[in-house]
């Protein structure tokens, strides 16, 4: 049965159903509701976890690292400046091969202050060795939390479940909260192969010399590669048990498309309607939703975009000096293909500006009209 809940709380319930043992958190808008509800669930005893109130996001991640290192299932949530403050520990968590799961609610980074939706906080952490999933709906956020623990614990890399600020975090939607018993079947307790145990003292993550450092990094990359198949396996199992699956990417009405719009997060939902509208008018426009950003689904993207001549990528972020990060990743995935689409890169919706159906239509119209983009970076909602 579906329940109408806030997007943040969908994450909280996902965490509760995952039987997380340690939650360490520091509040930051727009993430706070996630851990607020978790603290209530801990206080009421519904979630028998240790809830650690810490003095910073740095300490939150440090606590999760400690908890995970002794074999506990650990979770935290953050946003924006909080994620930025965690940065060095994000590297540590992945390097120490700890399957921590974190929810990140996408928010712009200061200066100037801005609390609204922007993907730069999580995308700035793309090289930290974390898996990243961008969610379109509250349901997907809940399901992705459950899947992430399973995936992370198999590949020994941490996962970030990413939600759009306010559009998702503060919006109420009907969400199916799965049965505890079925979740328990899907996600058994974490049994670490390596953990800190005072009865068997060992040294962890100590100085590792050049003679094996390369191999350890190679192993991490291998795990990222392995994650691609694990994500699909876990998603298929989830689909069987709960009737919902998401894959790494989703192609929507892409058959014979003249232009394929590429989106992430909640813009995808808005775009679906715009695509339907174009299709009704007989125009062949498709949509590609990218859900998994790390590992980047290069093979899937290449397959789905084979034969497509133009793609319009909407990035709610900007890497200064280059452009939209998703567009960049797509270019890089496609550049060695003989037949590859022309990549139109649009920056829109920064710092919480609404990406309306009109904006999306403008993006599509421009891409239809032009053989190739007039500029490397296009700004469809810029006030000129």
Partner 1 sequence: MKQKITFKRLQDIPPVAISMGMMLWNKTGTWRYLRPKYTVKTPPCNEACPAGNDIEGFMALVTEGKLQEAWELIKEENPFPGVCGRVCFHPCESSCNRREYDEALSIQAVERLIADSHFKMKRQKHPPKLQRKERIAVIGSGPAGLTCSYHLARMGYGVTVFESYSSPGGILRIGIPEYRLSKSVLDHEISEIQSWGVEIKTNAHIGKDVAFEDLKKYRAIFIATGAHRSRSLNIEGERLEGVVAGLEFLRRIHMGEKVTPGERVVVIGGGNVAVDVARSAWRLGAKKIQMVCLESKDRMPAFPEDIAETEAEGILVLPSAMPLRITPDLGKVKKLEFIRAKLGEPKPDGSLNPIPIPGTEFSLEADSVITAIGEVPDLSFLPEDVSIKKGFIEADEMGFVHPEGYFGGGDAIHPYHTVAGAIGSGKRAALAIHEYLQGGWSREKFRIIQVGQKGTISVKKYFHPPEGETNPPVVLFKDIKTDYFEHQPRVGISKLSIDERVNSFREIHSGLGQEEAKEEANRCFNCGVCNGCDNCWIYCPDLAVKRKNDRYEIDYDYCKGCGICFEECPRSAILLEEEGR
User: Toward partner 1, which CB reaches closer, 194 or 379?
Assistant: 194
Length of the chain: 384
> Residue 215 CB, nearest distance to partner 1 (Å)?
5
For residue 176, list its beta bridge partners: 2
| 155-to-54, 64, 220 alpha-carbon distances in Å | 28, 18, 9
Q: Give the H or E element holding residue 102.
A: strand 101-106
> Residue 38 CB, nearest distance to partner 1 (Å)?
23
Contact flag: residue 208 with partner 1 (CB under 8 A)? yes
- Pick from 114, 219, 269, 298: which binds partner 1 (CB under 8 A)? 219
| Whether 77 contacts 34, CB under 8 Å | yes
Contact flag: residue 194 with partner 1 (CB under 8 A)? yes
Contact flag: residue 379 with partner 1 (CB under 8 A)? no
> Residue 146 CB, nearest distance to partner 1 (Å)?
24
CA separation for the pair 132, 123 (Å, rounded): 9
- Pick from 9, 97, 107, 310: which binds partner 1 (CB under 8 A)? 97
Stretch in the footprint of partner 1 (CB under 8 A) among 34-42, 201-209, 241-249, 357-365: 201-209
User: Toward partner 1, which CB reaches closer, 210 or 282?
Assistant: 210
For residue 22, list its beta bridge partners: 50, 74
3-state SS, residue 151: helix
CA separation for the pair 366, 368 (Å, rounded): 5
- Pick from 182, 188, 189, 212: which binds partner 1 (CB under 8 A)? 212
- Pick from 45, 201, 282, 321: which binds partner 1 (CB under 8 A)? 201
Contact flag: residue 292 with partner 1 (CB under 8 A)? no
> Residue 205 CB, nearest distance to partner 1 (Å)?
5
| 373-to-135, 311, 341, 369 alpha-carbon distances in Å | 29, 11, 12, 10
Contact flag: residue 203 with partner 1 (CB under 8 A)? yes
Stretch in the footprint of partner 1 (CB under 8 A) among 11-19, 84-92, 213-221, 356-364: 213-221
Stretch in the footprint of partner 1 (CB under 8 A) among 11-19, 218-226, 248-256, 336-344: 218-226
| 345, 350, 355, 358 alpha-carbon torsion, rounded to 10° | -60
Contact flag: residue 226 with partner 1 (CB under 8 A)? no
User: Toward partner 1, which CB reaches closer, 216 or 322?
Assistant: 216
CA separation for the pair 336, 37 (Å, rounded): 47
User: Toward partner 1, which CB reaches closer, 196 or 368?
Assistant: 196
Angle, CA of 119, 121 and 127, to the nearest 5°: 105
Contact flag: residue 206 with partner 1 (CB under 8 A)? yes
Contact flag: residue 156 with partner 1 (CB under 8 A)? yes
CA separation for the pair 155, 286 (Å, rounded): 33
Nearest one of 75, 319, 320, 321 to 329, comparing CA atoms: 319
Contact flag: residue 218 with partner 1 (CB under 8 A)? yes
User: Toward partner 1, which CB reaches closer, 203 or 336?
Assistant: 203
For 51, residues 6+ apart whose C-beta sits below 8 A from its C-beta are 23, 24, 25, 38, 39, 42, 43
Binding track, positions 105-144, relative to partner 1; x by CB under 8 A: ----------------------------------------
User: Toward partner 1, which CB reaches closer, 152 or 266?
Assistant: 152
> Residue 223 CB, nearest distance to partner 1 (Å)?
7
Between β-strands 285-290 and 249-252, what pairing exists: parallel, antiparallel or unpaired?
A: antiparallel
Contact flag: residue 210 with partner 1 (CB under 8 A)? no
3-state SS, residue 89: helix
3-state SS, residue 187: coil
User: Toward partner 1, which CB reaches closer, 97 or 107?
Assistant: 97
Contact flag: residue 197 with partner 1 (CB under 8 A)? no
Contact flag: residue 223 with partner 1 (CB under 8 A)? yes
3-state SS, residue 167: coil
| Whether 62 contacts 16, CB under 8 Å | no
| Whether 151 contacts 159, CB under 8 Å | yes
User: Toward partner 1, which CB reaches closer, 52 or 183?
Assistant: 52
Tokens matching residue 110: 């200061």
Q: Which residues bind partner 1 (CB under 8 A)?
A: 95-97, 156, 193-194, 198, 200-206, 208, 211-212, 215-216, 218-219, 223
């Amino acid at each position: 049965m579906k329940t109408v809940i806030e997007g943040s709380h969908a994450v909280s319930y996902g965490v509760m159903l995952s039987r997380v043992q340690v939650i360490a958190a520091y509040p930051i808008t727009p993430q706070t509701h996630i851990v607020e509800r978790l603290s209530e669930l801990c206080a009421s005893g519904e979630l028998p976890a240790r809830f650690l109130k810490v003095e910073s996001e740095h300490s939150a991640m440090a606590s999760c690292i400690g908890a995970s290192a002794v074999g506990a299932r650990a979770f935290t949530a953050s946003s924006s400046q909080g994620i930025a403050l965690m940065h060095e520990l994000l590297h540590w968590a992945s390097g120490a091969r700890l399957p921590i799961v974190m929810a990140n609610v996408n928010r712009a980074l200061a200066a100037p202050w801005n609390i609204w939706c922007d993907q730069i906080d999580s995308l700035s952490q793309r090289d930290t060795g974390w898996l990243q999933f961008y969610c379109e709906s509250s349901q997907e956020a809940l399901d992705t939390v459950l899947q992430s623990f399973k995936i992370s614990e198999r590949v020994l890399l941490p996962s970030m479940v990413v939600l759009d600020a306010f559009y998702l975090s503060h919006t109420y939607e009907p969400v199916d909260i799965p049965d505890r018993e079925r979740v328990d079947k899907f996600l058994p307790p974490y049994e670490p192969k390596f953990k800190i145990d005072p009865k068997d003292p060992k040294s962890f993550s100590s100085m590792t010399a050049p003679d094996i450092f390369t191999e350890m990094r190679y192993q991490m990359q291998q795990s990222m590669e392995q994650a691609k198949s694990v994500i699909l396996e876990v998603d298929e199992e989830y689909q069987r048990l709960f009737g919902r699956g998401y894959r790494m990417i989703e192609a929507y009405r892409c058959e014979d498309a003249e232009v394929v719009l590429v989106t992430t997060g909640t813009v995808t939902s808005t775009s679906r309607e715009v695509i339907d509208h174009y299709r009704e008018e007989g125009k062949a426009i498709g949509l590609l939703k990218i859900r998994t950003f790390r590992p980047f689904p290069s093979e899937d993207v290449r397959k789905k975009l084979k034969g497509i001549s133009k793609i319009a990528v909407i990035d709610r972020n900007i890497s200064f000096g280059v452009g939209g990060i998703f567009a960049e990743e797509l270019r890089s995935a496609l550049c060695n293909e003989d037949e590859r689409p022309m990549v139109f890169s649009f920056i829109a919706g920064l710092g919480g500006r609404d990406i309306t159906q009109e904006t999306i239509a403008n993006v599509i119209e421009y891409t239809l009209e032009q053989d190739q983009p007039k500029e490397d970076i296009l700004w469809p909602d810029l006030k000129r």
